[in-house]
Chain A
Amino acid sequence: MNPKLDSAKLGVAVRISRIDWDQMSHDEGRRLREFGLMEGIEVTPLHRGSLFSRDPLALAIGRMQVIIRARQAAMIEVAPTAP
């Protein structure tokens, strides 16, 4: 069982190793790809939720920051970045 993006440590860059495209709707998957979230890309989780919830998750992808829900992050497997 590989670690998933929803439980990744904040502030530490990780590489996306696999995305479970089948679990998400067509539109969800497309929007993720439009944000540049796809296999092989490096992302850094930055902020997670507020007082009342662990949702949502803010990520840095390159020079862009995007917000996704924990449910989607749970479908994204990550691995440590290559040294």
Chain B
Amino acid sequence: MTAAIPMIALVGNPNAGKSSLFNALTGARQKIANYPGVTVERKAGHASFADGRPMSLVDLPGSYSLTPASPDEAVTRDVVLGQQAGERRPDALIVVVDAANLDNHLCFALELIALGLPTVVALNMLDLAERDGLTLDPAIVSRELGVPVVPTVAVRKRGLTDLLAAVDGAILSHQTQATAQSAPPPSDVALHQRARAIARAATLSEAPVRRWTQRVDAVLLHPALGFLILLGLMFVMFQGVYAWSEAPIGWIEGGIAALQGAVDAALPDGFLRGLIIEGILGGVGSVIVFLPQILILFLFILLLEASGYMTRAAFLMDGVMAKVGLSGRGFIPLLSSFACAVPGIMATRAIPDAKDRLTTILIAPLMTCSARLPVYTLIIGAFIPNTTVGGSPVGLQGLVLFGLYLSGIVGALVVALVLRRTVAKGNAAGFMMEMPRYQWPRLRDVAIALWQRTWIFLRRAGTIIFVTTIALWLLLSYPKVPTGSAESQVDYSVAGRIASGLEVVVAPIGFNHDIALALIPAMAAREVAVSALATANAIEAGDDEEAMAQSLSERLQGRWSIATALAFLAWFVFAPQCISTIAITKRETNGWKWPLFMVGYLFALAYAAAGITYWTAVAFGLG
């Protein structure tokens, strides 16, 4: 053993309360990175022994055995065997087991103990087991397993000191005794029999399984009622995402405008002022305004996950998703994609079947993410009359927005059906999942997870949009139009000239020069289309006071036909205009093949959808 800080790995079954224990041991000081070459997250943190010596802790992905069924589980195996690149073999293992589910969790524990590393078993969630009428004797478990067993209640920080002391002791005693355990690994059936025998021996008394969970499930998993409740929850979630975010979005916009004003006053007119105000503040601002919506959506999703409901939602949706060759597991990533496809695609890691996962990644961008909303809102506001439909209280504008969401969902289902029969052909997706118990979400665990998700999103989206907005600003501003020229700055700039080239391609589907110009920077992020339209219009309006006084939507009404506007909306249902999504797809599929495929098929669909919309609208006299 080296003098380096001891490295201790937390390992255990899914739903054993491993992450709560990790949070309780390390606090919020955690580092999330990726294992090299794979897309599995490495969660690491620090803690210290009672005498102050530091240790480093890693939280390994939950797993059922050392035979992996997914990339996550493969990392767990490789780390504990010392075969994972970028990670040294742990000096000790903390095996986390759910006290109420020893029958099952002791199997993996037995496998891990047989590895011969210093090992301590954390008998976790002992309070929940006792609440369920289960009395256990940790001493018997310890005697049968041959390793220290420490009862813990991670969420109440009970047993943590004893746990770390036991780890310290295990490492010390391990150094003094040679380990030679190379018996052939027992079969999984034998492991289970052994686990059940130990669980039986350690169980002092057992009340029948509590009924209340089953009563709740009788409602929440009811074939009809459960479905209605799920739809109701999703409705509340989307209402919350849009309604509760209005005020904070206003504050952020106000704050950015104030900053821009301050810079405007402080700096002389010139390159630097333009770059900071339009490029940096405008660009970064266009990302940060989505933060409230994303936070609210993540909060909902984390609460649903932590309470145990998300698996029930997956259960209810599995039947529908099976019809297009997917599984209920895909429901969670697709739901996240309504906020942003980037975390959605990251969440597909939990899908064990490779083809199932690939299909889910490829259709995730079809879920209407929050970045499309600014585009939809602008165009609907400008071109769809604010009336109700045929005397009913249903507003026409809202109906169009709903139609756009629905087009994305239906499009995704059809695409999934086609992909599963062609490029992502495979066995019918499996759906085998453990159903966790219901639990009150712990504020601390939710807060830590929310912060981690947010930070990942901000960092990724922030850097990409930051760079592209600055690039667009430069392309739109240079070369400067010569004084006295009849041409506008926009047309004269590099971006304007590229747009003129692109216009030839998109003219058949009703797109004009404005749109061609907006589409280029919108490759970075869809919402940039709105600011690009605004910037181009502002530059073109120039000193024309009458034109300056018009709002963007008024100016668009004068320049676009309804057919063009509708085609533009149809385009954005499908168009893969988000560099972050393409980048994350490349990372998650380990190569350029699938992101390029995704971009190709989505652009083809977008072109077709916009074209059909335009030609139909023109045929109805809306051109």
* Residues of the A chain whose Cβ atoms lie less than 8 Å from the Cβ of B224: 50-51
CB distance from B330 to the nearest CB of A (A): 13
Interface size class, chain B: 35 or more
Contact between chains at A34 and B132 (CB < 8 Å): no
Contact between chains at A68 and B431 (CB < 8 Å): yes
* Residues of the A chain whose Cβ atoms lie less than 8 Å from the Cβ of B223: 48-51
Question: 8 Å CB contacts to B: which residues of A1-44?
Answer: 25, 27-28, 30-36, 38
- The 8 Å CB contact of B320, one of A30, A52, A63, A65, is A52
Contact between chains at A36 and B430 (CB < 8 Å): no
B64 within 8 A of A: yes
Contact between chains at B209 and A36 (CB < 8 Å): no
B100 within 8 A of A: yes
CB distance from B77 to the nearest CB of A (A): 13
* Residues of the B chain whose Cβ atoms lie less than 8 Å from the Cβ of A46: 214, 217, 221
- The 8 Å CB contact of B103, one of A58, A63, A67, A68, is A63
* Residues of the B chain whose Cβ atoms lie less than 8 Å from the Cβ of A38: 189, 192
A60 within 8 A of B: yes
Chain A: residues with Cβ within 8 Å of the partner, total of 35
Contact between chains at A34 and B319 (CB < 8 Å): no
CB distance from B591 to the nearest CB of A (A): 24
- What separation, in Å, do the CA atoms of A64 and B180 have in the docked complex? 35
CB distance from A37 to the nearest CB of B (A): 9
CB distance from A43 to the nearest CB of B (A): 12
A33, A38, A60, A65: residue with the most chain B Cβ atoms closer than 10 Å: A65
* Residues of the B chain whose Cβ atoms lie less than 8 Å from the Cβ of A62: 101, 103-104
CB distance from A60 to the nearest CB of B (A): 7
- What separation, in Å, do the CA atoms of A46 and B104 have in the docked complex? 19
* Residues of the B chain whose Cβ atoms lie less than 8 Å from the Cβ of A36: 103-104, 192
Contact between chains at A53 and B320 (CB < 8 Å): yes
Contact between chains at A33 and B189 (CB < 8 Å): yes
- The 8 Å CB contact of A55, one of B67, B101, B322, B352, is B322
Contact between chains at A53 and B434 (CB < 8 Å): no
Binding site for A on B (CB under 8 A): 64-65, 67, 69, 100-101, 103-104, 107, 132, 134, 188-189, 192, 209, 214, 217, 221, 223-224, 226-227, 311, 314-320, 322-323, 328, 352, 427-428, 430-435
Extra 16 A-B pairs, beta carbons < 8 Å, given A50-B317, A56-B431, A64-B101 = A27-B69, A30-B67, A38-B192, A47-B315, A48-B223, A49-B319, A50-B227, A50-B315, A50-B319, A55-B431, A56-B328, A61-B104, A62-B103, A67-B311, A67-B433, A69-B322
Binding site for B on A (CB under 8 A): 25, 27-28, 30-36, 38, 46-56, 58, 60-69, 71-72
10 A-B residue pairs with CB within 8 Å: A50-B227, A50-B315, A51-B223, A51-B319, A52-B319, A55-B322, A63-B101, A66-B433, A67-B315, A68-B432
